[in-house]
Amino acid sequence: MIPSAHAAPLNVLHWWTSDSERRAADRLVQQLGAQGIEWHDDAIPGGGGGAAVKVLTGRVLAGEAPDVAQVIGRPLTDWAGLGLVLPLDDVAQRGHWREKMFPVVLQTVSRGGRVMAAPLGVHRINTLLLNHRVLERLRLSPPRSWDDMEAAARVMRAHHVTPLAWSDEPWQLATVFETVLLAEGGPKLYAELASTTGWSAWHDPRVAAALRRLRWLRDLDDEPTTEDPWTASARRLQAGTAGMLIMGDWARGELQAWGERAGTDFDCVPVPRTAGMHLYSIDTLAMLVGRNAQRAQQERMAEIIAQPATQMAYNQAKGSVPVRTDIDPTQLDACARDSWQTLAQPGAPLLPSIAHRMAAVESVRDAIGEVLHRFIKDRGVTAQEAQAQLASILRGAAQ
Ligand code: BGC
């Protein structure tokens, strides 16, 4: 159905407010606008979307649901289960999503065999960003192991560069921690930890090892108290006052938005011991069934989001990679190409992010963040105690 020329704008609730996030959203707005769909922006600031999800829940409960919302991962199951989300099976069929998108993407947006959201891009969480100029000046190569990282840290410290830009914000701690869980535990254990029934795996000694590694990483930043937003850490990396940063590859998009180039200004490699693995978070927009459902326009928006041109334009700005298998990877920079090719690699371990809701509901994600926060802030808490707390959270949430 072609929406009429005077169709009302679609209200879109999301949490993209940093420079690169804004730029990526603007590219979506442009692509949609050119095809007759108007985007009314409803951005709720806050990295990782904690605030946006709470605002969204409040609005839905008050009967004031936006038309479209950034609902990603497990929460999509709840929203869809409550009948609040418009199924997009017809759009997916017309656009051949099943044939053109990575299976993991289709699986992430499907519930009970129905397609419930439009996928935008795939972020890679296990990303280590490096200031290329600092590495060059200090004659260092990108670290491939924790030992390499320790050796690089020693050299950086000797030259008054903080080894790792860090923030103790709970969602950022959870983001780093899950990459460390994957590194210390390997993909099999990680998959068990991320499964809804696998709470007993949280007693594995490798979880305690990951907690100890998290403290070790935290101590690579001398800043005693920091709860900075992720963009501030990216700024420190850009300025070269810090040499490394572990963050989802939206930080790569941010560096690009500030004019930095992969391979000359910064590098990105998988976090040590996670090469060839993809710890993913897939951004999606769900079309909500509100009071004034605008179905034709919502479907058209979903259709445009999946188009190859929109995918390329959006993802190049965002730092994520297209959800499609039929794009030209030579148009991606080295970091993005490695991410996309890992997704395309048969048998490569693809692991769902816990911190970014792919494998956890909001309350579990928040509770994990709180345990990690206490563990990092209070050195009196042992790794065993923190591990026991994590295990009991996951046990309570097991289905
Ligand atoms: C989202 C990204 C966003 C990041 C930082 C993640 O949960 O998937 O799109 O850039 O949070 O806010």
pLDDT digits (tens, 9 = 90+) for 188-228: 999 999 998 888 999 999 999 999 999 999 999 998 878 99
- Helix residue spans in the chain (DSSP H): 19-34, 50-61, 74-81, 89-94, 97-100, 103-109, 132-137, 146-158, 170-194, 205-218, 230-239, 250-257, 295-306, 308-318, 334-344, 362-377, 383-397
What SS3 state is found at 266? strand
CA 195–ligand 1 middle distance (angstroms)? 22
- 357 CA closest ligand 1 atom index: 7
Q: What is the rounded average pLDDT of the residues 168-182? A: 98
As a whole number of angstroms, the distance between CA 102 and CA 188 comes to: 21
Closest among 304, 335, 307 to 321, alpha carbons compared:
335
Check if 73 has its Cβ closer than 6 Å to any atom of ligand 1.
no
In angstroms, what is the span from residue 279 Cα to ligand 1's centroid? 14
Q: Which residue's CA lies nearest to atom 3 of ligand 1? A: 48
**Is the pTM value of this prediction over 0.75?**
yes
Q: How confident is the model at residue 292 (pLDDT cuts 50, 70, 90)?
A: low
CB 266 within 8 A of CB 260: yes
Substitution site in 250, 280, 282, 366 for ligand 1 pocket (most atoms within 8 Å of beta carbon): 250
pLDDT digits 0-9 by tens, 18-76: 999 999 999 999 999 999 999 999 999 999 999 999 999 999 999 999 999 999 999 99
User: Residue 243: CB within 6 Å of ligand 1?
Assistant: no
